[in-house]
Amino acid sequence: MAKLRIEGGRRLSGRVTVDGNKNAALPLIAACLLTDEECVLHNVPRIRDVEAMLRLLVGLGVTVEGQGTPTVRVCCGCVTSSEPDTTLVGMLRGSVLLVGPLLARTGEALLALPGGDFPARRTIATHLAALEAMGATGQQDGAMHWLRADTGLRPASIYLDEASVTGTETALLAAAGAAGTSEIRHAACEPHVVELCEFLRAMGVGIEGIGSSTLRVEGGGRLRGAGHTLNGDYIEAGSWAVVAAVTGGSIEVRGARAADVEPIASVLRAMKVGCTFEDDRFAVDESAPAAVRRITTGVWPGFPSDMVSLMTVLATQASGRTLVHDWMYELRLFALEQLSGMRADLFLCDPHRIIVTGPTRLRGRSLDSRDLRSGMALIAAALAADGDSVLSSLEMVERGYGTLVDRLRSIGARVERDES
């Protein structure tokens, strides 16, 4: 387990180019299973979650070239297994995206409980309901889910019980392999769902309603190989913006689309953080942040839950009191209780709401990255704090932020990776 040693109190400035969207890369990699022809993905993020997803494919008999590089070639000409490696599945929530394509290609899938952030609290019930509506039958034996589609997946009219991103993607991938027209209502509309739709369309799937909450999918035909260049990761762009803002610095982030960054930039502006965004440029100026009455998450195009932890850290450096409300997920805010030990003025109302009063001069300490996004938020807090901090495990944060140590150093941070 690696640790990150952080010297705080330095103003960070510079330029960072983000990689492709992590949350688009995983479903696109899973979609490659739907065809026996080669697919080529460009601007693939070099992160641990992508590495795990590609290793899962290799374990299924798939040929993968370019692992660890921005261009990855995937050829699923021969799928030799329908049981993804249980250890890797336990590391990656996105592994559930393999189930629909496996049912379409092999007629069965055996999947352990997907891991990732808070696996015990994030079920795959929405995914399973969509698959069952398309004719999959299954049973659970302990932590293993065994699903079969002996006569193939069939088209269906589906209403998702929540606008789950991965639930929508699971339904899309399964519908692409079901002969006929499926309709998915209450679908998620996030940019990475749109990217999956565009990739499936390039493979030969008919899709209407892209970007809306109702998707009509014409699937079941023989799909062809396709290429796609991933859009920049707007959550990563927002993360770097907050790192600059909490340390009193300035940054120029390249690679993320302005339309994707807008929900994040709007909250930063409300907090009096000077920022501009256009084309693929997102810039944050030296600012004196101010509190806002409330920051509330929402489904797209609302403020993304993945940014809640980082905005909470920014609120510790803003003058006044801010209520942060993440109604979407429990436990995300609990990981930020560690900020109290850094002298932050916090009041945790319940699992979904926290009140932050600032500004507070933070103090360095030992920190524990319990999930991906709160881990990056705690790094931001440590960079703004007086003194030194040590964060473990660094691997948790590297699931979503590639070459993290090098990028931090490139904007002036004094950090050191400790493998001991």
The helices-and-strands tally (H runs, E runs) of the chain is 13, 23
117 is catalytic: yes
DSSP category for residue 363: B
Question: What are the CA-CA distances from residue 204 to residues 7, 96, 154, 219 (Å)?
Answer: 51, 23, 18, 8
* Phi-psi map region of 298: left, alpha, beta (phi>0 left; psi -120 to 50 alpha): beta
Could you tell me which of 400, 383, 281, 370 has the C-alpha nearest to residue 342? 383
Phi first, then psi, for residue 64 (nearest 5°) are -125, 130
* Candidate list 49, 117, 233, 306, residue with the active-site label: 117
From first CA to last CA, the distance across the chain in angstroms is 8
Question: What are the CA-CA distances from residue 373 to residues 38, 138, 287 (Å)?
Answer: 33, 33, 23
- The SS3 of residue 140 is strand
Cα torsion through 413, 314, 379, 381, rounded to 10: 90
Spatial contact of 416 and 279, defined as CB atoms under 8 Å apart: no
Burial class (CB in 10 A: 0-12, 13-18, 19+), 294: exposed
Question: What are the CA-CA distances from residue 345 to residues 64, 149, 288 (Å)?
Answer: 49, 54, 18
**What are the catalytic residues?**
117
